[in-house]
Each structure stands twice: as C-alpha cells, then as structure tokens.
Amino acid sequence: MLATLVTFALVAIAGVAGWQYIGTNVLAQHRQGQMATALAEDWAGDRSGDATQDPIRLGEVFAVLRIPRFGDDYEVPIVSGVHDAALSSGVGWFSDTQRPGQLGNFAVAGHRITNGQPFKDFPELRPGDLVEVETRTHVYTYELRNSGTDTIVDFTEIWVVQPVPEEARTSPDQKSTSEPSEALLTLTTCSEIFHTDDRSVAFGVLVDSRHV
C-alpha cells in the first residue's frame, strides 16, 4: 500500500511539473500568438494616436517586441504591468517607467521558463544586438550595450528600472534624480532557469525611430 501511495505521489508531482514546464508554454504561446494577431489587425484599421500620451490600461497589450537574435519569427506582445497575468501573456512593462521611444528608461520583464518563456534565450544576447518595439504609431529600434549574462542583480535592486540607471546604481537609495538624456531600454528576466532571486539585465539605447 505504501509503495502504491508513493508511486501515485510521484506520478502526481511529475504531472504537475510537466504541466508547469510544458503545458503552460503551449497555452501561453497560443494566447500570445492570438494577441499579436489581434493587435496587428486592430492597427491595420487605425494607425492614428499618440503612443506617448494615449492612456494604457493595466493588462492592455500596447506594443510588440521583436529580437532578431531570437529568430526571424520572434514576436511577443508587450503588456502593461508585471503581474502574473501580464507575464503569461507576453512580456510585461513596468508601467512606472517611460514609454517606448521616450527619454528615460522603457523597462520590461519576461519569463525564461514556463508561460511561453519569451526570454528563454536571454543568455544569447550580445552587445550590438538590435531590439525592435512597435507601437500603433512608431517602430523604435534599440541597440544593446551589454550581453544577456553581463549584468546579474538581486530582484530587490531597483536601479535597473530608473530613468538614469547608471546614476541610480551608485546612489544610496538606488534612485536617479537627473533628467534623462537618452531613450533607454531595459530587459529583465530570471538569471537561472529554475527558481532564483537573481535577475539578468540587458540595457539598450534608442538608435532609430520611424513613423508607421
């Protein structure tokens, strides 16, 4: 009887783990593909507006992220917020940071594993890689300044999402006070595949902006 119970428990644990690491990816990737398609269809009918001023609701998909390093077909929705629902729908935008293309720091986070794992290949990022963010009105292109493994921080370090990260890094309260002079991009994800309190961070700077 005990052996049967142990076997049943192991099978149940394996099933939960399998769902966590495989099932959530299947569902999330399907949902993310649907959201990206719906967004493209919406934009096709109306490219007007002001991406720097129009209101963005929590949980709203408002942009698309493309990273050629991750493949020519890599395209992930950007969702307002970094709560669980947002991170299972694409990559999440820290909504208290700047918007795409603005001076300051446009910061996003994504999973490396489970829930579509949009940043699965984060360690492959290299300085000089391009990252494209498309909104309803513009396409913004950022160039990375570091690799996906150069900068690893504890999850409590907030300087990485500040408007001027390098200034905030050395300040006592990890906050920047200077007016930003560059339009920056920050990508964050877990530094290891399994549970960790460390985060890998890649920084980029805006090198091109075009109206669509």
pLDDT for the residue numbered 201 = 98
pLDDT for the residue numbered 12 = 38
Residue 113: which pLDDT band, with cuts at 50, 70 and 90?
A: confident
Q: Which residues have a Cβ under 8 Å from the Cβ of 199 and sit 6 or more positions away?
A: 152, 153, 154, 155, 157, 160, 188, 189, 190, 191
pLDDT at 47 over 80: no
Least reliable range by pLDDT among 37-41, 129-133, 201-205:
37-41
Mean pLDDT across 41-54: 73
The full set of domains in the chain, from first to last, is: 2-211 (2.40.260.10)
State how far Cα 66 lies from the chain centre. 11
pLDDT for the residue numbered 161 = 98
- Name the pTM for this structure: 0.82
pLDDT for the residue numbered 204 = 98
Residue 151: which pLDDT band, with cuts at 50, 70 and 90?
A: very high
Between the alpha carbon of residue 160 and those of residues 31, 57, 139, 151, the distances in Å are 29, 23, 23, 10
Residue 14: which pLDDT band, with cuts at 50, 70 and 90?
A: very low
What are the φ and ψ backbone dihedral angles of 144, each rounded to 5 degrees? -70, 145
What are the φ and ψ backbone dihedral angles of 40, each rounded to 5 degrees? -60, -40
E-state strands within 25-80: 61-66, 76-80
Identify the CA nearest to 200 among candidates 147, 127, 163. 147
Model confidence over 122-145: pLDDT tens digits? Answer: 999 999 999 999 999 999 999 999
Mean pLDDT across 9-25: 44
Label the pairing between strands 183-190 and 151-154. unpaired
Tell me how far apart the alpha carbons of residues 158 and 150 are, in angstroms, rounded to a whole number: 17
pLDDT at 30 over 90: no
Instruction: Count the alpha carbons within 13 Å of 47 in the hemisphere toward its beta carbon.
Output: 9
